[in-house]
């Protein structure tokens, strides 16, 4: 497949190796069936699914970029940085991701304590049933339990009522530092991308600080087309990409059939004025055909 502006690239998705529900092979098959031509599995703080994802993609005729989504704490918010096209054997990247994953178990126990005080007992055991990777218990697994137990109608309601700042199941956590996450990715040969920028509750000056510090550390991309952006936000962050000279990315952030609002490979193409991040990463793409 030629790589160009119109390539159906989906460079943000999750498997059961983090908080998705499908195995890497099953997302690969679903992505291919949806017309994705270039795919990346970007599990949270984890690259344990990369080899399976790449092997499955190439067997299906899909090009592949290595991926991950690193949790970062910046100016009092959690920010997600997607890494693409890195060398997955890089020791510093692997150590950084392992350090970022640590502490999730203790956090989950405290989340369960908070939920128990709000009248929802057994949430730790309930969430664990959904966990595919014991190192990666996340809020999403609690959300699935709260839906199953009938406490909420869907995962969006769970986050709104229980799992966001100020709510009973929320526990603040110190994730990776912005500069560290960007360096782990770039020093492993990859490109760092700010994920779903419209999701953060930053003032204009804090958002400006995020972009300028990200770039100063070597970050080069921003998600413009993501399942988290409205049409107006797609336009707004397309303008931001041009203003800061950033590469643009496109990814559904697919987690699960029936849970995710955006299907794999279904977002609009990037506007022609933007430079796709996959163009800068052409030399890092694992090609399905020579
Ligand atoms: P964690 O890394 O444990 O803090 O969990 C974060 C994950 O929860 C994200 O990657 C999303 O999959 C999910 N998530 C976060 N906020 C929301 C929300 N408001 N609605 C639905 N899912 C959310
Ligand atoms: Mn997630
Ligand atoms: Mn994210
Ligand atoms: Mn994600």
Tracing tokens 């600080």 back to the chain, one arrives at 209
User: What pLDDT, on a 0 to 100 scale, did the predictor assign at position 17?
Assistant: 98
Tokens of 238: 């397309």
Residue 258: the pLDDT is 86
Q: What confidence score (pLDDT) does residue 281 get? A: 98
What is the distance between the alpha carbons of residues 265 and 152, in angstroms, rounded to a whole number?
A: 29
Structure tokens given for 142: 């609690």
β-partners of residue 72 are: 79, 176
Q: Which of 13, 20, 154, 159 to mutate to test the pocket of ligand 1 (most atoms within 8 A of CB)?
A: 159
Q: Please report the pLDDT score of residue 142 as a whole number.
A: 98
Phi, psi of 101 (to 5 degrees): -70, -30
138 lines ligand 1 (CB under 6 A): yes
> Does the Cβ of 139 fall within 6 Å of ligand 1?
yes
* Ligand 1 centroid to residue 140 C-alpha, Å: 6
For the Cβ of 254 lying below 6 angstroms from any atom of ligand 1, the answer is no
Q: Please identify every stretch of the chain with a pLDDT value under 50, giving residue numbers as ranges.
A: none
DSSP label at residue 161:
I
Query: Under DSSP, is residue 93 helix (H, G, I), strand (E, B) or coil?
Result: helix
What is the structure's pLDDT at 209? Answer: 98
Q: Which of 104, 138, 165, 251 to mutate to test the pocket of ligand 1 (most atoms within 8 A of CB)?
A: 138
> What number does the ligand 1 atom closest to the CA of 173 have?
4
Q: How far is CA 9 from CA 3, 19, 163, in A?
A: 9, 21, 31
Ligand 4 ion local residues (Cβ < 5 A): 69, 253
- Ligand 1 pocket mutation, candidates 17, 139, 171, 252, criterion most atoms within 8 A of CB: 139
Amino acid 2: pLDDT = 83
Radius of gyration of the chain (CA): 18
| Ligand 1 atom nearest to 69, measured from its CA | 10
Question: What residue owns the CA closest to ligand 1's atom 6?
Answer: 139
For 21-36, write each residue's pLDDT tens digit: 999 999 999 999 999 9
Taking the CA of 19 as reference, the closest ligand is 2
pTM of full prediction above 0.95: yes
**What distance in angstroms lies between residue 196's CA and the mean position of ligand 4's atoms?**
8
Cα–Cα distance, 47 to 40 (Å, whole number): 11
How far, in Å, CA of 80 to CA of 256, rounded?
19
pLDDT attached to residue 289:
82
**What are the residues facing 71 on neighbouring strands?**
80
* Distance separating alpha carbons of residues 145 and 125, to the nearest angstrom: 9
The answer to whether the beta carbons of residues 85 and 282 sit under 8 Å apart is no
């Amino acid at each position: 497949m030629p790589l160009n502006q119109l390539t159906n690239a989906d460079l943000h998705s999750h498997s059961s190796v983090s908080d998705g529900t499908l195995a890497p092979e099953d997302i690969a098959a679903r992505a291919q069936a949806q017309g994705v031509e270039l795919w990346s599995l970007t599990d949270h703080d984890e690259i344990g699914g990369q080899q399976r994802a790449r092997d499955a993609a190439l067997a299906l005729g899909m090009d592949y970029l290595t991926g991950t989504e690193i949790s970062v704490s910046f100016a009092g918010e959690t920010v997600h940085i997607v890494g693409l096209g890195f060398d997955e054997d890089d020791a510093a990247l692997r150590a950084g991701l392992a350090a970022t994953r640590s502490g999730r178990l203790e956090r989950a126990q405290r989340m369960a304590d908070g939920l128990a005080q709000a009248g929802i007992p057994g949430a730790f055991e309930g969430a664990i049933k959904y966990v595919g990777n014991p190192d990666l218990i996340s809020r999403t697994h609690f959300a699935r339990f709260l839906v199953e137990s009938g406490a909420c109608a869907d995962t969006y309601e769970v986050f709104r009522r229980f799992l966001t700042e100020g709510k009973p199941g929320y526990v603040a956590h110190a994730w990776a530092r912005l500069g560290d996450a960007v360096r782990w990715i770039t020093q492993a040969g990859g490109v760092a991308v700010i994920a779903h920028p419209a999701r953060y509750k930053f003032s204009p000056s804090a958002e400006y600080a995020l972009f300028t510090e990200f770039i100063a550390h070597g970050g080069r991309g921003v998600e413009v087309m993501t399942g988290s952006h409205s049409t107006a936000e797609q336009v707004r962050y397309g303008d931001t990409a041009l203003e800061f000279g950033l590469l643009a990315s496109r990814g559904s952030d697919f987690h699960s059939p029936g849970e995710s609002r955006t299907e794999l490979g279904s977002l609009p193409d990037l506007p022609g004025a933007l430079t796709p991040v996959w163009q800068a990463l052409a030399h890092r793409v694992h090609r399905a055909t020579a």
